Structure 1
């Protein structure tokens, strides 16, 4: 299969599903030049010292994500009659805002179907951009079906979030920009949900420079494209579960699946902890706020999930619309994954001086204890023992290991290191 052996000539075989043309990408770039914000590359060598990393911060784009590109271009290509009838979309976040802004800026009515459990902040943001919002009981799939029903009843044009040639061309303008901004780029790493973004980027980049590697990244809790490409057919997941809600897609599109099969070199997955660590790194080191989906590409490079050692690499940070109500939890998980904080559960003899001994050992190693929980009633094997639970600020994973070694060397029993 082309996806596995990376035979570029094989990927050029004509497929009737693909109606894209590189000229359409240049047309999209011209149309979008009037509405989108230019996002310049940011050099970020700290992400992985073994390669030369740059960030494409689409988190700074209007509406906070790349989605405005595909939505605006798709709407701009509608006929006058279609524009008069209005457009409809289904989304829980970034695509909704992209459609709303695109339609409103062209004086077109837009209706967005959202699951009623969607975050209030995203619902209000969509309304503020000029769209009508229809809250649908249930989950995303219920909202999707409602959008199709209303489309058929009222003659709206449905703006698909990813499986549409014009949407893909709009997203693919990022690929054109990358080659302009860093002509000697060797690898591009892109988050993947339904596949619209990576399809556009891969098609544009490979059409102009087939030597550039294009890698996709999915959350391990939503590997729909990974599974589909592995099994050589579109597959639908029974469920998805990830903090990266922007790429939590159960099934890739038919057009995007075909393009990824031909133009993408590999797609990998990253864990929730790796995504959280990437979000933390972007905030702390790059002063950049990314949502889970946007940080997935950075996580793949940080944790060596893609073969970019020694290469000039661009990570597309696709969006920054993270729910601030969960940001503190994301940061804490990122700190734990990066070895910046650890939780130690220690069994102690219940006698004077034991807690002091633990504190002295940790202090001597340069650790900072931030919380202490001491419990006598526990399930220790010895009735006279107690349990001490400590949260400790640390420098990195090596520092955590040196602290745990020092504790055990001093005769202390560590039940668990979290």
Structure 2
């Protein structure tokens, strides 16, 4: 193999598709007129890996990797480190292939994810406060017990398996011109870029708090972050590794970044317009499309929604944050003469203006508040910033009530915040 030839080929991806064909779902591609209109794209196709087995694309690479183990390797078993989707992909692949599977997770892993992984038949070992310690322990187990270590992305077999999404995209969406792919360690985008020909622009998306890939491609060497800070824990990696870097530098056309707030807005829109629960990492591609991080005007754009394994409490909080970014939700603090008397009038005024009261609680007085007035905090949901602006003004006109402060987006999906 020439020095500049990536370690994964189209033939590898096509072989992976044959290997996993009877195991994975060929997930559907939904066309969205709404997102095309919002972004200016000619069309938008959402690749719904949220409906894949285990709830994410990870089973593709895990099964392709483990199906190629020798009989002796299968008998000894495999070990992996993961607090999320990779764990479940490896666990299910182990059950289907009759391979003993051990998953090492950090102590911060939610109980629901541990239960889901055990439900696929894996032994779960809780070790370490953070993922890096779990990773180290998994390598120690592999060395001590002769287990095969299944890496989440730095493996040609993993990359080839993830690339089967690209083959499906080409068949389901033949006019595709650009595809947006979330990047953590780079396994998914490396496989997709390998599967698609050079006529399709392949662009990666990372949260600003974990944006290492663009720097790596610019510098021509792997750039590692000291730490990460993002709600998108599924793509909160600190760096690429050798396999993914070698593929990406030859085949990926660019990388853009999005904020956590933009990701939350994309999650809210997906829940509302597509009736799909998407984890934060899975919404990164749509966030990039809607934020204008990439010019896709009049293009046919594919967006990979990579997973839907969201904690429902976290998802609800992020959707609320997303609605705020969209100007559809406002926090309002009222100063009222008395807590009891105005509540009925407030409820009637909201009903008259078609706004929903999501939250109400007693607040603390702030500087400048009159001592003989009480503070009341409201969470209001409406159809948009103009609607909510009118609702806030209407509340301010009530007898015995004045708006002391509010927090409202005023200029569109990813726009400026109005605070008073």
TM tier, smaller: 0.7 to 0.9
After TM superposition, list the pairs within 5 Å mapping 1:163-174 onto structure 2.
163-174=154-165
Change (3 A) 1:375 1:113: closer
Secondary structure class of the residue paired with 1:183: coil
Counterpart-to-counterpart distance in 2, 1:149 and 1:266: 36
1:14 is displaced (CA, Å) by 5.1
Using structure 1 for the length normalisation, give the TM-score: 0.87
Taking the aligned partners of 1:91 and 1:103, their CA distance within structure 2 comes to: 15
2:291 is the counterpart of 1:317: no
Aligned residues: 403
Cα offset for 1:389? 3.4
Provide the TM-score with structure 2 as the length reference: 0.86
- 1:362–1:130 distance in 2 versus 1, CA, 3 Å: closer
Instruction: Indicate the residue corresponding to 2:105 in structure 1.
Output: 114
Q: How much does 1:343 deviate? A: 1.0
Cα displacement string for residues 226-285 of structure 1 (whole angstroms, at most 9, x for unaligned residues): 333344321222222322211111222122123222222221122222222222222221
Distance 1:312 1:57 in 2: 17
Matches of 1:384 and 1:87 in 2, distance apart?
67
Q: Does 1:60 align with 2:78?
A: no
Question: What does residue range 71-110 of structure 1 map to in structure 2 within 5 Å?
Answer: 71-110=62-101
Alignment deviations for residues 262-321 of structure 1 (CA, whole Å, 9 cap, x no partner): 222221122222222222222221122211111111222222222212111111111111
Q: Matches of 2:114 and 2:337 in 1, distance apart?
A: 55
Q: Identify unmatched segments of 5+ residues in structure 1.
A: 1-12
Q: How does 1:124-273 map to 2 (within 5 A)?
A: 124-205=115-196, 208=197, 210-273=198-261
The 1:103/1:16 distance shift into structure 2, 3 A limit, reads farther
Q: Please give the per-residue CA displacement for 1:14-71, whole angstroms capped at 9, x wherever unaligned.
A: 5457222211111111111011111121112212412211111111111111001111
1:402–1:377 distance in 2 versus 1, CA, 3 Å: closer
CA RMSD of aligned residues (A): 2.9
Helix, strand or coil at the partner of 2:224: coil
- 1:3-14 matches, cutoff 5 A: none
Q: Given that residues 280 and 335 in structure 1 are in contact (C-alpha distance below 8 angstroms), is that contact kept between their aligned partners in structure 2?
A: yes
Quick check: 1:191–1:216 contact (8 Å CA) kept in 2?
A: yes
Return 399-408 or 245-254, whichever deviates more. Answer: 399-408
8 Å Cα contact 1:378/1:386 also seen in 2: no
Does the 8 Å contact 2:278/2:309 carry over to 1? yes
Shift of 1:376: 7.6
Q: Secondary structure at the match of 2:210?
A: coil
